[in-house]
Structure 1
Amino acid sequence: MRRDSRLSGVLHVLLHMAEQPGPQTSETLARAMNTNPVVVRRIMAGLRDQGFVSSEKGHGGGWTIAADFEAVTLREIYDALGRPEMLAMGNRTDAPGCLVEQTVNAALGQAFDEAEALLLNWFGEITLAQLSEDFHARLSDLGGAVTLENAHEA
């Protein structure tokens, strides 16, 4: 099963955007995310709808950060993405009338629910500013500067 990495990708691109002056085009952000600009536009539109980014069309336009990194949590970004599935595992549903399947699904379902609640709680405790601070500490350790063009060379 393929993992959904949208949250990781969006956080990645938001941190890149915070380091760059001015608006960033979908094409530039797509290079940072190693994806297609159409994918970037689709994802960023959801963030724009929630007020996390803004966009301007035309020459010199692009995407800019519109929210305070101190106030925005990973949970809010996760919610803006439409709450993608967190866990790759799930319950079997081939025989819903089977008492064994019901028993197993009840036990696993509770564990899955608790794991998801724990992750969501943790996401609510981490802000974009905290991610940015960690990034800057790592950058300082390397003694360099980062651009969207050289960020993935380390």
Structure 2
Amino acid sequence: MRKDSRLSRVLHVLIHLEMADQPVTSDKMAEMLSTNPVVVRRTMALLRDRGYVRSSKGHNGGWSLAKPLDEITLLDIHKALGEASVFTIGLTDEHTNCPIEHAVNASLKDVMNEAEKLMLKRFGEITLDLLGAEFKT
């Protein structure tokens, strides 16, 4: 199963934006993340729609922060990216008539829901400025 690393990658980019003295292009971000600039633009547009970043066109254009990092939480970014499950563990649905599968899924679902609730609560308590604090001089 493939990991969803979008949250981690976007946090990485946002901290770089905070440290940049000018807007950063999608091409430059794509180079940093080893991905395609179209993927960067699509992802950054989700953040722009929520008011966390802004884009400027033309010479010296690119992406910059629209809000200070101390006003943005991990939960904000998680939600902006579409609120995918924080776990890549999935429940099986291959044997829908099997009572053992139902029992296993019910137990796993309860535990995963409880853990996700706690994790999202914690995400709401962590502002992005805390993530990049050790890099400030």
* Category of TM-score, reference length = shorter chain: over 0.9
Aligned equivalents of 2:48, 2:4: Cα separation in 1: 20
Q: Quick check: 1:4–1:85 contact (8 Å CA) kept in 2? A: no
Amino acid paired to 1:12:
H
Q: Quick check: 2:17–2:64 contact (8 Å CA) kept in 1? A: yes
**Change beyond 3 A, Cα 1:83–1:66:** same
- 3-state SS in 2 of match to 1:70: helix
Give the structure-1-normalised TM-score.
0.84
The residue number in structure 2 matching 1:72 is 72
Q: Quick check: 2:73–2:125 contact (8 Å CA) kept in 1? A: yes
Amino acid paired to 2:25:
T
The residue number in structure 2 matching 1:12 is 12
Q: CA deviation at 1:46?
A: 0.2
Give the structure-2-normalised TM-score.
0.94
Give every structure 1 segment of 4 or more consecutive aligned residues whose post-TM-superposition deviation is greater than 4 Å: none
Aligned equivalents of 2:4, 2:38: Cα separation in 1: 17
The residue number in structure 2 matching 1:120 is 120
Q: Mind listing any 5+ residue stretches in structure 1 that lack a counterpart? A: 141-154
Aligned equivalents of 2:48, 2:134: Cα separation in 1: 25
Amino acid paired to 1:94:
E
Amino acid paired to 2:11:
L
How many pairs does the alignment contain?
A: 137
Is 1:100 the counterpart of 2:100? The answer is yes
The residue number in structure 1 matching 2:88 is 88
Aligned equivalents of 1:20, 1:71: Cα separation in 2: 18
The residue number in structure 2 matching 1:54 is 54
Q: Supply the RMSD in Å over aligned alpha carbons.
A: 1.2
Q: CA deviation at 1:84?
A: 2.1
Aligned equivalents of 1:23, 1:110: Cα separation in 2: 44
Q: CA deviation at 1:101?
A: 1.1
The residue number in structure 1 matching 2:38 is 38
- 3-state SS in 2 of match to 1:54: strand
- 3-state SS in 2 of match to 1:30: helix
Q: Mind listing any 5+ residue stretches in structure 2 that lack a counterpart? A: none
Q: Quick check: 2:17–2:65 contact (8 Å CA) kept in 1? A: yes
Amino acid paired to 2:103:
T
Aligned equivalents of 2:124, 2:37: Cα separation in 1: 29
